[in-house]
Amino acid sequence: MKKYNILIIILIATAFIFNACEKDWLNPAPENQLVVTDSTFVLPENATKFVNACYTNLLTWEESAFSWMGVASITSDDADKGSDPGDLGADKDQMDAITYTSTSLSVGEVWKGNYQGVSNCNQAIANVPKFEIAEDLKNRLIGEARFLRALYYFNLVRCYGEVPLVDKVLDAENPDDLDKANTRVPVDQIYTFIEEDLNYAISVLPAGYDASNIGRATKGAATGFLAKAKMYQQKWQEAYDLTEQIINGQVGNFALVPDYSTIWREIGENSTESLFEIQARIGLPVAAVQQYCSPQGVRGGQFSFVGIEGRDTSAVGGWGFNTPSEDLFNSYETGDVRKKATIISIGDTLFDQVIIVNAANQHYNYKSYVSKYLESYNGNDDRTNKNVRILRMGEIYLINAEAANELANTPKAQASMNAVRNRAGLGNTTAASQSDLRMAIWKERRWELAMEYDRFFDLIRQGRAGEVLRAQGKSFVDGKNEVFPIPQSEISASGNKLTQNPGY
């Protein structure tokens, strides 16, 4: 039997049933039922199921859970491994110290999760045109799939640099397809592909949906991700123009919500702050991110309550990984409301009146906290109703500010940064020179987006990862750790056609 790497495994993830209730398009189809006849292309609703499978991948362990925390957060100066000293989380100690290798679990799972997402999207893009459905619906569905494919490739290019560009459903028996799956292409070629997908999505996606379709990719989401991709390439004018469209309401109704602390609560789901978030659903069947909250939950917690009779002395806990670092905790300006909204500390009283009396670690990620009292909690710590915010207006304003500053538009850079600062309870920036503003904007990104899986990649694109991370005792090697290693399992499965990144 031939052995193939993950790039050429062709499958459709579990399809989702599309119903008329809010979030009900997240309902998975029944499993283990015999299919007597193949009605795939006969039933028009199956076109939507192909695209729903592209979203399904966002819910998986490999895509959005423990390994992603290790790669995108624990590596940074914002987070520590956490948990108990003896609990390594497979390789989270390596991610924290930046001593990971090509065989580290997190490195392999992030590769696998994102390429599975690419595969699902390629299936949808190839098959949706086969259905006899309205042309505008067909274009919209393809636009959603291309938006998600761009998202998966954005993760891949930031993590691994040069990667194989798989733009179609592959045939494992076709030598040309095998070459495509095992040939890495330059980073700028990957970004060009991402931009093409996002520009198409912008051209066909709606500005918004009714309640039955909430959470699907919109024109604003695609515009925001394109702006972010432009920022990573230092295409400042384009990043500025795109974020101006969002801020000025040209691509949808988006705005900073007044209360920063509500963004990650259930009441803050799909608000005007949010351009795109992973939709989670509890109930039967469950369609939630597999173990997003539990790895980051309070470990060994002891709890009490303020003025509430009849409650038990428990709260939703977890494994205690990906804990906010003391460096992040101490970095905030006095009066910044984002500190308390981001970091749980022993002794704190949370929004549901839970008091953290004691725990294994001093700090925890508040943005992943689930209340068993004031939110929809089903008793399943591993599969909760918590949406994961991926792109929001706080970041759009800061992309706009950074782009404006690089274009020497000081007043605009200050105004956009001040919009974020003022919401945080801080006064206007005093930074005026381009270099001072640049550093001030980078600090604002750290505080605004703390524990949201961007800090490590920000330090890389800013060209200061080695300086910052070595100061925190991490073994960052310049010229090596700007990208992660290509998983050795993929290199071996390719017959060594896939090449390794320098230094690994």
- The answer to the question of residue 504 being in a domain is no
pTM, two decimal places:
0.93
- The answer to the question of residue 455 being in a domain is no
Do 134 and 274 share a structural domain? yes
Do 193 and 317 share a structural domain? no
Do 357 and 211 share a structural domain? no
Amino acid 12: pLDDT: 31
Do 116 and 80 share a structural domain? yes
Q: What does residue 426 show for φ and ψ, rounded to 5 degrees?
A: -110, 160
DSSP-assigned letter for residue 41 = T
DSSP-assigned letter for residue 426 = -
Do 302 and 280 share a structural domain? no
Rounded CA separation 128/138 (Å): 7
Q: What does residue 502 show for φ and ψ, rounded to 5 degrees?
A: -60, 140
Q: Which residues contact 145 (CB under 8 A, 6 or more apart)?
A: 50, 51, 54, 121, 124, 125, 128
Rounded CA separation 437/454 (Å): 20
Report the CATH number that the domain containing residue 121 is assigned in CATH. Answer: 1.25.40.390
- The answer to the question of residue 449 being in a domain is no
Do 298 and 272 share a structural domain? no
Amino acid 290: pLDDT: 87
- The answer to the question of residue 30 being in a domain is yes
Strands in 5-117 per DSSP E: 16-17, 27-28, 79-82
Residue 464 structure tokens: 């200061």
- The answer to the question of residue 346 being in a domain is yes
Amino acid 368: pLDDT: 97
Amino acid 27: pLDDT: 55
Amino acid 311: pLDDT: 76
- What angle do the packed helices 45-56 and 105-127 form, to 10 degrees? 170
Question: For residue 449, with 0-12 CB atoms within 10 Å meaning exposed, 13-18 middle and 19 or more buried, which class applies?
Answer: buried
Do 373 and 333 share a structural domain? yes
Do 208 and 82 share a structural domain? yes
DSSP letter for each residue of 311-322: --S---B---EE
Do 325 and 270 share a structural domain? no
- The answer to the question of residue 36 being in a domain is yes
Amino acid 16: pLDDT: 33
Q: Tell how far CA 141 is from the center of its chain.
A: 21
- The answer to the question of residue 498 being in a domain is no
Amino acid 284: pLDDT: 61
Rounded CA separation 343/166 (Å): 39
> What is the enclosing helix (H) or strand (E) of 214?
none
Do 302 and 268 share a structural domain? no
Q: How many residues does the chain have?
A: 504
Amino acid 8: pLDDT: 40
Amino acid 450: pLDDT: 98
Helix, strand and coil percent figures for the chain, each rounded to 5: 45, 10, 45
Do 335 and 222 share a structural domain? no
Amino acid 18: pLDDT: 32
Low-confidence ranges of the chain (pLDDT < 50): 1-4, 6-22, 31, 34
Q: Is-contact 121 152, C-beta < 8 A?
A: yes
Rounded CA separation 445/175 (Å): 45
Number of domains in the chain: 2
Write the CA distances from 95 to 80, 154, 160, 366, 453, integer angstroms: 9, 20, 15, 21, 14
SS3 at position 29: coil
Name residue 358's beta-bridge partners: 302
- The answer to the question of residue 442 being in a domain is no
Do 315 and 201 share a structural domain? no
Which domain covers residue 54, as residue numbers?
A: 6-285+483-493
